Amino acid sequence: MFSKSFLSILPLALVVQAAVPPYKTDCGNGHSARNPKCCVWFDVLDDIQTSLFDGSKCGEEAHESLRLTFHDAISFSPTLGGGGADGSIMAFADIETSFHASTGLDEIVGEQKPFALKHNVSFGDFIQFAGAVAVSNCGGGPRLQFLAGRSNHSQVAPDGLIPLPEDPIDKILARMQDAGFSPAETVDLLASHSVAAQDHIDPTIHGSPFDSTPSDFDAQFFVETLLKGVAFPGNGSNLGEVLSPYPGEMRLQSDFAIARDPRTACEWQSFVTNQDLMVRKFTKVMAKMAVLGQDPRRLTDCSEVIPVPKPAASQVAHLPAGKTLKDIEASCKKTPFPTIKAHPGPETSIPPVPAS
């Protein structure tokens, strides 16, 4: 607590300024923003939470919206071209969604584009905004930074800049390094798979998730990816798929490899018992990814529009029912795998993620 004598020597203007809250613009409908440029995003938020995310759910549209942020942004290379997070995947949807790595994204692009046009915001802005709102709808999710002001001018991104699940890990890490991400940051980005599902690697099990808690942004994904694989969840081995620990759960070849590679295994393991660390690192790396190809100094910080996420159902990852530490394929040589509790109850079986 400052003494009266200390306060008496401060300039009056400084004392008054500290006591007055920052001015906010009235955006209508009970919303206010520090920058009037952000007001339009409250209108977009209200619209997509109702009409795209079915009442703020962490369902299929939320999962696909988060996936879209990556596929638009990672198409960036200092040597090969690509505009990064510029909305080109929406502007040139007939071309870019036909890339093998973006199979199936034509659906979410088709759902999102009318909202961007309706509210007269750029495609690049809308994609990153919708992804940030989507993950905030998932329990335990981060409240991501959102910067607005991307131009609506873009060019078609080159094919081949988006890593594939069947790619060798050396190729994946080299592609990510070319875009400006370290091996550890690649792991950080993969926290998105805690609320993800597949539709096209095995179309017979549409919506099969990558962990047993696909509506929660939690560390369960980082535990279950390290479990020994025992079976394929669908019609057998498919390109980009490896053995899964459970019926109904899909495991990507790339996730399997990154979880066990010496360059990435310790970063992977670090999230197993540290939900907060996972959220912090994902938030930081997403802020970096969302401005690939952009000059952040020319953008406006509208992060206050992003909703505050609810807590995850469980803040502590566990060994799924029917599994023990002997089923974990720990690969970090620096530190032993942490002791985690087993979940009581019958052996886990994961149903597909329901369509929203």
Active site residues: 71
Distance of CA 167 to the CA centre of its chain: 21
159 belongs to an annotated ligand binding site: no
Distance of CA 21 to the CA centre of its chain: 33
88 belongs to an annotated ligand binding site: yes
72 belongs to an annotated ligand binding site: yes
**How is residue 139 written in tokens?**
């329990």
Alpha-carbon gap, residue 112 to 21, rounded angstroms: 36
84 belongs to an annotated ligand binding site: yes
Tell me the Cα Rg of the chain. 22
218 belongs to an annotated ligand binding site: yes
- The dihedral sign for the CA sequence 108, 111, 115, 117: positive
331 belongs to an annotated ligand binding site: no
Neighbour count for residue 35 (Cβ, 10 Å): 13
204 belongs to an annotated ligand binding site: no
194 belongs to an annotated ligand binding site: yes
C-beta separation of 274 from 319 below 8 A: no
43 belongs to an annotated ligand binding site: no
Report the 3 state secondary structure along the chain.
Answer: CCCHHHHHCCCHHHHHHHHCCCCCEEEECCEEECCHHHHHHHHHHHHHHHHCCCCCCCCHHHHHHHHHHHHHHCCCECCCECCCCCCHHHHCHHHHCCCHHHCCHHHHHHHHHHHHHHHCCCHHHHHHHHHHHHHHCCECCCCCCCEECCCCCCCCCCCCCCCCCCCCHHHHHHHHHHCCCCHHHHHHHHHHHHHCEECCCCHHHCCEECCCCCCECCCHHHHHCCECCCECCCCCCCCCEECECCCCCCEEHHHHHHHHCCCCHHHHHHCCCCHHHHHHHHHHHHHHHCCCCCCHHHCEECHHHCCCCCCCCCCCCCECCCCCHHHECCCCCCCCCCCCCECCCCCCCCCCCCCC
Cite the annotated binding site for Ca(2+) by residue number. 72, 84, 86, 88, 194, 211, 213, 218
Cite the annotated binding site for heme b by residue number. 193
Cite the annotated binding site by residue number. 72, 84, 86, 88, 193-194, 211, 213, 218
